Structure 1
Amino acid sequence: MTTLSSIPVKKRAVVDSGHRFDAGRHWAASLTLGFGTRTDGDATITSMIKAHHFGPLRVQRPFYPEGRDGCCHVYLLHPPGGLVSGDALSVDVTVAAGAHALLTTPSANKLYKADSNSVAWTQHTHLKVADGATLEWLPQETLAFDGSRGEQTFIIELEDNAKCLGWEILGLGRPASVLPFVNGHLEQRFQVTRNGRPLWLERQSLDPSHRRFTGKWGQGGATVHATLWAIGLADPAEAVEALRAQLPANCRWAVTYRRGVLLVRYLGHERNEVWDLFQQARVILRPRLTGHEATVPRIWLT
């Protein structure tokens, strides 16, 4: 009987299992979700009408902590808990007119050290929000281990009066274990459009060997990078002033508003600090965006 251990290393790349041990390794997983509305008496209820998955990407059942006619909460599950060389994760979410969905995760996402061939991982997120729909994208943080290599692509397509509130939090290295991010390369790409017209296009390259990584004119050695966005506010100027007045005053965050997109940026060293900051910002922004108070997803309390 032939076993994997009996196959010469050079031939292991073509074993029938599909697992490769060279630079061509590729393990894909995808999740496609769709949200729509249905009527129950006088109530309009947001339902998860599509949930297709391939590989280790799943969802738990929808939750309605804000009432049956309130926002539909869904938890994205990735059982491996992180990305290794060759992983290719793809998440596609569509929210139909009138629906309101909130997506989050039960724990941090981990980006592990690349293998000996320096094979990269990829993570692609595509959110589509119809006219009159609302989407909240609130994952827990992503932690990049030293030596990780990969690319994150984030695309949001909005129709006329679509609304979106979300954040992305990235921690570099494991400071508590004295394991800084000194090798590897990460690239993040953000693209937000409304009716096909670009509102926010951004590319960020994180390379510890580049002077920008430690230079005061660049990242200044920061180990936590985070961005919160809110799109569709009725009075963005008032929201900006509320954030500046109510959030803790320090030099590690700033808020701007351009081309219909409100952005809160954080550059520092504390995951807990930015997590608390963004939760406070959501308390301020959500009523202004959706007309409803900010409800904390139950999974964050476990």
Structure 2
Amino acid sequence: MTAFATSLTTMPPADSGHRFDADRHWAASLELGFEPRDGVTRLTPCRHRGPLRVQRPFHPEGRDGVCHVYLLHPPGGLVSGDALNIEVGVQGGARALLTTPAANKLYRADSHAVAWRQHTRLVVADGGELEWLPQETLAFDGSRGAQSTEIALDGDARCLGWEVMALGRPASSLPFSTGCIEQRFRLTRYGRPLWLERQPLDPAHPRFRGRWGQGGASVQATLWAVGLNDEAGAVEALREGLGASPRWAVTVRHGVLLLRYLGQECCEAWALCEAAWRVLRPRLLGREAHPPRIWRT
């Protein structure tokens, strides 16, 4: 077993308290629920532990529109031993959009090479709608951790989301040359797996440079959309609206539309995802795109 795997599997339980050795573990959790009340999507419950918070819910699209919520992590990033757990539940008839006020940062591991962990679980009931649109994640050289996203849908639940990851800081001549990050995605409907993926981002692995894998790209993005009535039409609309480029591609399998980006520019990846969201939102949710105000600050 590698040192990276050992650091993940031997991490002490959440109630172990703060430490400053190889067994350090600082936990934070956030549980959000959305339900319709009198035609308005309400945030309830909202429970947190540690440095994870939300601002008050907003309804910028009207009282009967989507409930916008900003997830706040005051430390601004993950360090060795951090363990973040986010759970979101959307009931039938509720409509929620979640984003973050700034980029998430994954800092260099400490001298013990202790890993961090981040787990996100999104549950959408029959008739519910969820948009998961966090700002980009910036991984510093030497970062070590595991990031997992689980999406559980029922009935005709609809979900659109993305993950934008920038590795290293090439502009500062600090590429992602050491460390290891593992990404996992799991999307199910009625418990049946529709999209399962595991991706190790390890500069020491051949796939990191190989043309058959990462290809040396320092920025990657994945966008998903589930619940489209006309999947083929959505793919064509994306290809027409986004313009041809060797850095992105789109496909549909088992009812899951996936758009991928591999390149060197974080701004380009973000712009691509936002443009795709503008194309897909009316087709998926029947509403024009309404960018959260925090994106313009």
Q: Which amino acid aligns with 1:251?
A: P
2:34 counterpart residue number: 35
SS of the residue corresponding to residue 238 of structure 1 reads helix
1:6 counterpart residue number: none
1:12 counterpart residue number: none
Q: Which amino acid aligns with 2:30?
A: L
Alignment of 1:199-278 (within 5 A): 199-278=194-273
TM-score using structure 1 length: 0.92
SS of the residue corresponding to residue 267 of structure 2 reads helix
Could you say what the CA RMSD is over the residues aligned between the two structures, in angstroms? Answer: 0.8
2:280 counterpart residue number: 285
**C-alpha distance in structure 1 between counterparts of 2:215 and 2:196, whole Å:** 23
1:189-216 C-alpha deviation (Å, 9 max, x unpaired)? 0000000000000000010011111111
Q: Which amino acid aligns with 2:26?
A: W
Q: Which amino acid aligns with 1:111?
A: L
1:112-171 C-alpha deviation (Å, 9 max, x unpaired)? 000000000000000000000000000000000000000011100000100000000000
Alignment of 1:148-187 (within 5 A): 148-187=143-182
Q: Which has the larger radius of gyration?
A: 1
SS of the residue corresponding to residue 260 of structure 2 reads strand
**Percentage of pairs with the same residue:** 69
Q: Which amino acid aligns with 1:34?
A: G
Segments of structure 2 that go 5 or more residues without pairing to the other structure are: 1-15
Segments of structure 1 that go 5 or more residues without pairing to the other structure are: 1-16
Q: Which amino acid aligns with 1:105?
A: T
2:132 counterpart residue number: 137
Tell me how many residue pairs correspond in the alignment: 282
**C-alpha distance in structure 2 between counterparts of 1:71 and 1:18, whole Å:** 38
Q: CA deviation at 1:225?
A: 1.0
Q: CA deviation at 1:18?
A: 3.6
Q: Which amino acid aligns with 2:129?
A: T
1:127 counterpart residue number: 122
Shift >6 Å, 4+ stretches: none
